Structure 1
């Protein structure tokens, strides 16, 4: 997972509320075990409208998505985070998220920023006008060139994981010395546990 400290650039002014994971990535796309190519199916039903914000030329490659309240509700499919990542999204700004989606986003290197509706409305205006938005995870701020400055809260552990690019495997490997020390001591002190294991 790539470390994330800052996300800067265009934001897709989506803003819709109660967008569930079936809208983010329809169930027919869940047959894959790879993350690649899921961006093509992201928001498929919405993208059937030729004037949708996701396929607008000015939003191509935008790293930020601005969404409405209760984003990522519905089923717990991790493919929703995979699809956003494959679409190029590194951060989502919304008033609230489903807990499961929020956790899946962080585990896949996507920052879920929670801001009040008034701040989200203001950022929708900025994004709609084509101006960049800047997110600083270290400082926990969202800013614009118009002197807008919004602060957000994030769980310290999630922040640590995003800043370090740490997924669950990486977190386990951070403790590899302690694990080895424990296993060596257990083998030395309780050799009978290892009998018949071939170790």
Structure 2
């Protein structure tokens, strides 16, 4: 097992629920398949508002995005994850995630941390009061710490394992090659 990942960074309080993949990376910007160059596409429709939180100078350089309920729902658009990663986000904290988004995020090393709404609201308030407040995420301990608060978070065991020991479902399957080959050698031909 590799060393347990811990992320410490500042956060952006995105006070919105139901953020789907078309808001993260609008379809009109995704005519080709490549994992880089999507930072300017992230929330492109919302960024036209100068007051949008990602446009504000106090949140520049943040690596943690704190959103509301139902983040990354909608299509299986992998560019949504690429847009977040291209904008230097390493962690998204939300009240829930779309299943396909979460799987894509894990494959790309983007941490999806699920907490209760009261934790999100408390974190939003703390970050708005102090945009330079460090937010600490400890994967193995499943602990989120900010200011004087420390809270537990939810993450599925297979996703946690993939973040701690990077790989994907194919990598996990290849660990069992010897057992697969032994099984196949015992099977009768049809």
TM range (shorter): 0.7 to 0.9
Residue in structure 1 matched with residue 77 of structure 2 by the alignment: 77
SS at match of 1:143: strand
Mind listing any 5+ residue stretches in structure 2 that lack a counterpart? none
Q: Structure 1's 50 and 157: CA in aligned 2 closer, same or farther, altered over 3 A?
A: same
Residue in structure 1 matched with residue 138 of structure 2 by the alignment: 136
Note the C-alpha offset of 1:189: 9.1
Residue in structure 2 matched with residue 154 of structure 1 by the alignment: 155
For 1:69 and 1:4, the matched residues in 2 are separated by 27
SS at match of 1:100: helix
Residue in structure 1 matched with residue 91 of structure 2 by the alignment: 91
Q: Do residues 6 (structure 1) and 6 (structure 2) align?
A: yes
How many aligned residue pairs are there?
186
Q: Which has the higher strand share?
A: 2
Q: 1:13-92 residue pairs with structure 2 within 5 A? A: 13-92=13-92
For 1:110 and 1:18, the matched residues in 2 are separated by 19
For 2:174 and 2:55, the matched residues in 1 are separated by 39
Mind listing any 5+ residue stretches in structure 1 that lack a counterpart? 194-199
- TM-score under structure 2 normalisation? 0.86
- CA RMSD, 1 decimal: 2.3
Q: Structure 1's 172 and 57: CA in aligned 2 closer, same or farther, altered over 3 A?
A: farther
SS at match of 1:120: helix
Q: Structure 1's 24 and 189: CA in aligned 2 closer, same or farther, altered over 3 A?
A: closer
Note the C-alpha offset of 1:177: 5.1
For 1:54 and 1:133, the matched residues in 2 are separated by 17
Note the C-alpha offset of 1:170: 3.2
Q: Structure 1's 160 and 121: CA in aligned 2 closer, same or farther, altered over 3 A?
A: same
